[in-house]
Structure 1
Amino acid sequence: MSFPDSVCTVVVTYNRLEFLKECIQGILDQTSPVDKIVIVNNGSTDGTDAYLKTLQQPQIEIITQENLGGAGGFHTGIKRAYELGYEWIWVMDDDVEPFKDCLGNLLQYKDLSKCIQPLRIFSDNNEVFKWEHYFDHRTCMPILHHNISLENKDFCYVNTACFEGMLIHRDIVEKIGFPKKEYFIAGDDTEYGILANLYTNVLYTKTAIMYRKRVVVSYKIRPLQAYYEYRNLFLLRKNIKPYFPGNFSSIFYKNLYKDCFSKIKIILKGKEYPFSEKKLLISKMIKGILDGKKIYKNK
């Protein structure tokens, strides 16, 4: 049984306590109140657990689990929100903070789409995160449009989505299931948006806004990121192939290696990376590709 027009927010967190506090406060301050907040704590070790125990609001539910990555966290949270019967599920990482009217503005489009994506701006300088892109199923990579469609109108349609603010209807969850845990990080929301787009027109709007937090260290490529971004390209390709039949191997590998070599150049030239870190990152990228090939070949 579902509750008409109800909204459950799902937040996944791991070791970003200060950002998490701002995220939760932003949700609580919404001019269109949410009915439920499910917070999935992926085994944080920075005091998050103690903080979450202080939250006494009756609509907040805490789920603590081992660190299953963002993908495992969103699987748990979306599954819980769906099973509780909420009509809309509003999904976000711990490093975003919605403007007070964000949810209300998202819901203005509920008759146009069952998967709605807000605009994000960086909190340190109010720079717009130019996220608009078209996902190319041949390469499993995005073709960037840099929000061109939003210059003279309030929304546009895209063919994928992101867990930084995605508002998704339970009808879509019923059709495509829950995010796949095996991604761990990177690519889980891309696939979810691709599958959602098979059943609804994914809408991206500039009228609903969230802050996206960042710190200096976030500009650097992280070892986990270096590994999973390439490993998960193969997982993504394998998972969406039944929906986009065709042999695109030459295009896929050409773009994969072009992207990889480009990142290697950035790492080698980057003064912020010591030699040992450069060596580690490049080895992680290569391992990600090799492990990804094994996943893809394992039918």
Structure 2
Amino acid sequence: MHDPDADAQHVVIVITTFNRAGHLDELLQSIARLDPLPGGVVVVDNASTDGTADVLAGAQLPCPLLIEHLPHNVGGAGGFAAGMTRALDEGARWLWLMDDDVVVLPAALASFHPWMQRYSCIHGRRYDAAGKPFFWQHLLHESLGVHLPVRGDVFEDSPVFHTNVGCFEGMLVSSEVVREIGLPDARFFLNGDDLTYGWLISRRHPVAYVDAFVLQKTRAQRQIDLGVRHLNDSSDLSRFCGMRNRGHQARYLQLHGSYSRVGFGVGTLLAAGKELVRLVAVERSLTGLAPVWRGWRAARTILRDPHWRPEPPFGDRRAGGAS
């Protein structure tokens, strides 16, 4: 019989933060209320310029708090890569990854406990900032290179839904999987890094989405309900990275024999169309079209780059392997 407290002691929470001191403070306070507690917390400060340093200096947690202050902002992808490296160096057996604009629910680690004996990559459910269930149930359509929503109640017949994508807003992943797959590709910066990382894991291990609420968003976002999913507001940087990173995603699909040039082209049009709908219906502006265009051009450059290489395995990267 596995002890949930013992399992929790092997979990290190990895947080990436940038200029959200207030949200980070709420998150750290919620971690202090976890029962059972994790074995430690790693916070990667992506060169924040607000009060983040003060929040971290004044944080009082009943478990070790380790801080990685980065000299410049390397985005969510680079931040998680740095934080996961630190967690592995500290002997973590499980890494629970999360952004800074959530809080953890007190029984979260106890909720994960039954699933940690069956799976090595697990996602729990989330509430949005209003306390309503946050829609996250997708499958990557490999030919299109687009993650599509799965309609209906995926937990109607089973408390677990197997997916082939990941989300760094709550992914719980074993250290063995990270060492096998490697670290997130820091070149993504943000947007699509976790989707691709989850897909890479799913090629070797089941990726589970379980019927247990473990997180709640604290940052309210404008959104519309499209029936099959919610569409949130975004930023010009996220729009640019989302389109540009399709170039990196295509290279990974090529690497694993899952790339369709025609299908991926259709998927790129769908991705651009989604951004247009987001701009018109959610943000009521078309000024974000320019970053979408720049991102598309950058993706084409990545696809033609003869020097592109995937991120190496964990050990090779630590030794200064290919970038």
Compute the TM-score of the two structures, normalised by the length of structure 1: 0.90
Q: Is the 8 A contact 1:172 1:196 kept in 2?
A: yes
**In 1, Cα distance between equivalents of 2:281 and 2:179:** 47
**In 1, Cα distance between equivalents of 2:20 and 2:190:** 16
Per the alignment, residue 124 of structure 2 pairs with 118
Flag the 1:116–1:266 CA change in 2: closer, same or farther, 3 A: closer
Q: What letter matches 1:34 in structure 2?
A: P
**In 2, Cα distance between equivalents of 1:271 and 1:12:** 26
- 1:39-118 to 2 correspondence within 5 Å? 39-57=43-61, 59-65=64-70, 66-118=72-124
Q: Is the 8 A contact 2:44 2:83 kept in 1?
A: yes
Structure 2 residue matching 1:239: 3-state secondary structure = helix
- 1:1-299 to 2 correspondence within 5 Å? 5=7, 6-57=10-61, 59-65=64-70, 66-124=72-130, 126-146=131-151, 148-216=153-221, 219-243=232-256, 245-268=257-280, 272-273=284-285, 278-279=286-287, 281-299=288-306
Q: Which 5+ residue runs of structure 2 have no aligned equivalent?
A: 1-5, 224-231, 307-323
Bigger shift: residues 139-148 or 105-114: 139-148
**In 2, Cα distance between equivalents of 1:32 and 1:179:** 28
Aligned residues: 289
Flag the 1:246–1:157 CA change in 2: closer, same or farther, 3 A: closer
**In 1, Cα distance between equivalents of 2:148 and 2:254:** 19
**In 2, Cα distance between equivalents of 1:20 and 1:116:** 23
CA drift of 1:270 comes to 6.0
Compute the TM-score of the two structures, normalised by the length of structure 2: 0.84
CA drift of 1:282 comes to 0.7
CA drift of 1:250 comes to 0.7
**In 1, Cα distance between equivalents of 2:28 and 2:151:** 29
CA drift of 1:208 comes to 3.5
**In 2, Cα distance between equivalents of 1:41 and 1:247:** 36
CA drift of 1:86 comes to 1.1
CA drift of 1:41 comes to 0.6
Flag the 1:33–1:248 CA change in 2: closer, same or farther, 3 A: same
CA RMSD of aligned residues (A): 1.9
Structure 2 residue matching 1:22: 3-state secondary structure = helix
Q: What percent of counterpart residues are identical?
A: 26
CA drift of 1:246 comes to 4.8
Structure 2 residue matching 1:296: 3-state secondary structure = helix
CA drift of 1:287 comes to 0.5
Q: Is the 8 A contact 2:126 2:215 kept in 1?
A: yes
**In 1, Cα distance between equivalents of 2:116 and 2:248:** 31
**In 1, Cα distance between equivalents of 2:95 and 2:169:** 12
